[in-house]
Amino acid sequence: MSTEDAYDNFEPGSQYTVEMKREKMRKTYYFRAWRIDVSNVMTTYPEKQDKSWASDKSGGKDGKMLQSHEVELDSISSILGGT
């Protein structure tokens, strides 16, 4: 498991730029021997401030929001006879 520490008044340095922002909402369902994670992911790309960028890392998606879904299926090995 990973954790993050929150810092008051944190501001990234000038060498960092925002390329996208992702918000992930996850719902977990438990069945007898399985766990299913269903996620809704909203990705937001900022609008370009400088139209003369040499490379467009957003793939032409500047200023857009994209919605995607992820499904993860995990087995619970102790129920399936694993160790």
Q: Quick one: which H or E segment has residue 21? A: strand 21-30
> Are 61 and 67 in contact, with CB atoms under 8 Å apart?
no
Q: Per-residue confidence of the chain (83 residues) as pLDDT tens digits?
A: 567 788 888 888 888 877 888 899 999 999 888 899 999 999 988 876 554 444 455 555 667 889 999 999 988 776 666 55
Q: Is 0.85 surpassed by the pTM of this model?
A: no
Q: How many CB atoms lie within 10 A of CB 81?
A: 7
CA distance 38 to 68: 11
CA distance 14 to 10: 13
